[in-house]
Amino acid sequence: MWRSLVSGLLLAPLYWLPAVPAAAQIQPLPSWNEGAARQRILQFVAAVTTPGGPDYVAPVERIAVFDNDGTLWAEQPMYVQLAFAIDRARTLVSQQPELAAHPVLAAAAAARHGEAMPSMGIPELLELVALTHAGMDAEAFRELVGNWFASACHPTWKRSYRSLTYQPMRELLDYLRSHGFQTYIVSAGGVEFVRVVSEELYGIPPEQVIGSFVASRYALQDGLPTIVRQAEVQLINDGAIKPVMIEQVIGRQPIAAFGNSDGDFEMLEWTTSQPGASLGLIVHHDDPEREVAYDSPSSIGRLDRALKEAPRRGWMVVSMRDDWARVFADHPARPLEAECP
């Protein structure tokens, strides 16, 4: 009896403590340093999600679009898909030496490991992908990409490419979705390539990925219908094409856009030109200690015009060095650091 009474007296004050909501115990955007960038993001989300507020936006219209290369994952010293295509070209040329007669394939096969070819941009990259995968059906291509991601290592950081996504941006994706946003990837990279890992890495399903693509055709193989990839680039989703594809695929104008290069300029411009609250954000790679420092001199992820016009247009320029407490997100599945040469 006395034991029960004492226990009851000791525990009684706990019943009077106010309950703390679970959401209040979690600090939003923990990998972002406290400062103007983080506060502006929080203020924007609060403004567009507060019912009755002057900037309230209905959930169905809360569209956020993200570039991928250099915005959600690392793009130096070369685009991730370019590394994949080069590896594939080496394999094919070793199996079929006659393919070395094509200049794009020859350049890819001869490239030194970990070094990008200065003359190879998005058009050449997509041509390389088209050439190395012509005649392959879509499912076979996705399987090939998945197998590559399971074993490929970044040449500089000696880590799996899947562990080189940016933790602050992944937190931002989650934060926006927790407040009713629909998040889309709008990339110049190949749409089928990005779709293989978009859900695993970012929580973005394949149908919410917009990208460049090669021509495909419907065909019967062994009596079964399939979609076969052709050796022809059909569309490069970069620059002014990005808003066009957003309109055609989503059918709604975004209220938030995130990029890192001049290839995202028109997407940011279109998003922030509408009446009402909007947010444009540029990731500035200025952290040579934890990642890479580059902008206008770079042949990959060139940032010149957008950086100069950002203040006038009200776009946020996020400093990787100053605004991010952490850069990379460690991918828990099968770390490859010990296996990388």
Residue boundaries of the structural domains of the chain: 31-77+164-329
Average pLDDT over residues 95-99: 87
More confident residue, 122 or 229: 229
| Predicted TM-score of the model (pTM) | 0.88
pLDDT for the residue 114: 53
pLDDT for the residue 28: 96
Is 155 exposed, middle or buried (CB count within 10 Å of its CB: 0-12, 13-18, 19+)?
middle
pLDDT higher than threshold 80 for residue 211: yes
Distance of CA 247 to the CA centre of its chain: 19
Helix ranges (H only) for the chain are: 2-15, 36-49, 80-95, 103-110, 122-133, 138-151, 167-178, 191-202, 241-249, 265-272, 305-313, 320-323
Average pLDDT over residues 193-197: 96
Lowest model confidence (mean pLDDT) among 83-97, 191-205, 289-303:
83-97
Structure tokens at 222: 């062994």
CATH class of 31-77+164-329: alpha beta
Distance separating alpha carbons of residues 338 and 341, to the nearest angstrom: 8
More confident residue, 254 or 1: 254
305 DSSP 8-state letter: H
More confident residue, 27 or 338: 27
* Residue 231 banded pLDDT, cuts 50, 70, 90: confident
The whole-chain average pLDDT of the chain stands at 87
Average pLDDT over residues 17-23: 43
pLDDT higher than threshold 50 for residue 35: yes
* Residue 21 banded pLDDT, cuts 50, 70, 90: very low
Lowest model confidence (mean pLDDT) among 3-12, 175-184, 195-204:
3-12
* Residue 338 banded pLDDT, cuts 50, 70, 90: very low
Q: Do 294 and 283 form a contact (C-beta atoms < 8 A)? A: no
pLDDT higher than threshold 50 for residue 17: no
Give the three-class secondary structure for 49. Answer: helix
